[in-house]
Structure 1
Amino acid sequence: MTWSPRAAETAALAVVGLGLTLGVVLVDPLGRVLVGAGALLVLALVVRDLLIRPRLSAGPDGVDVRRLTGVVHLPWGALRVSVRESRRLGVRGRTLELDTATGVDDDGVLVVLGRRDLGADPGEVARRLRGLDPTRRL
Structure 2
Amino acid sequence: MGTAAPRCHAGAVNEPTTEPSTSWRVPIGLPVLKLAGGVLLVAAGLLLAAGDPVRPGLAVLVAAGLAGWAVRDLVAPVRLAVDPGGVTVIRGFAGRRRLTWAAIERITVDARPRRGLRTEILEIDAGDALYLFGRYDLGAGPAEVADTLRAVRDRSAE
Give the TM-score, by structure 2 length: 0.74
Find out whether 1:9 has 2:30 as its counterpart.
Answer: yes
Structure 1, residues 73-117: CA drift from partner, whole Å, max 9, x if none?
11112322111112233332100000122xxxxxx2210111111
Aligned mate of 2:137, from 117, 120, 125: 117
Aligned mate of 1:91, from 88, 97, 117: 117
Find out whether 1:44 has 2:68 as its counterpart.
Answer: yes
Q: Distance in 2 between matches of 1:98 and 1:70?
A: 17
Q: Which runs of 5+ in 2 are unaligned?
A: 1-21
Cα deviation, residue 128, structure 1:
0.9
Q: Distance in 1 between matches of 2:85 and 2:129?
A: 17
Paired AA for residue 9 in structure 1: L
Q: Which structure: larger Rg? A: 2
Paired AA for residue 11 in structure 1: V
Paired AA for residue 86 in structure 2: G
Residue 60 of structure 1 corresponds to 84
Partners of 1:56 and 1:118 within 8 A in 2:
yes
Q: Which runs of 5+ in 1 are unaligned?
A: 102-107
- Secondary structure, in 3 states, of the residue corresponding to 2:132? strand
Paired AA for residue 40 in structure 1: A
Cα deviation, residue 56, structure 1:
0.6
Number of equivalenced pairs: 130
Residue 81 of structure 1 corresponds to 107
Q: Distance in 2 between matches of 1:100 and 1:59?
A: 16
- Secondary structure, in 3 states, of the residue corresponding to 1:6? coil
Give the TM-score, by structure 1 length: 0.83
| Percent identical | 33
**Which contiguous aligned blocks of 4+ residues in structure 1 show a shift greater than 6 angstroms?**
none
- Secondary structure, in 3 states, of the residue corresponding to 2:145? helix
The alignment yields a C-alpha RMSD, in angstroms, of: 1.8
Residue 18 of structure 1 corresponds to 39
Most deviating of 59-68 and 120-129:
59-68
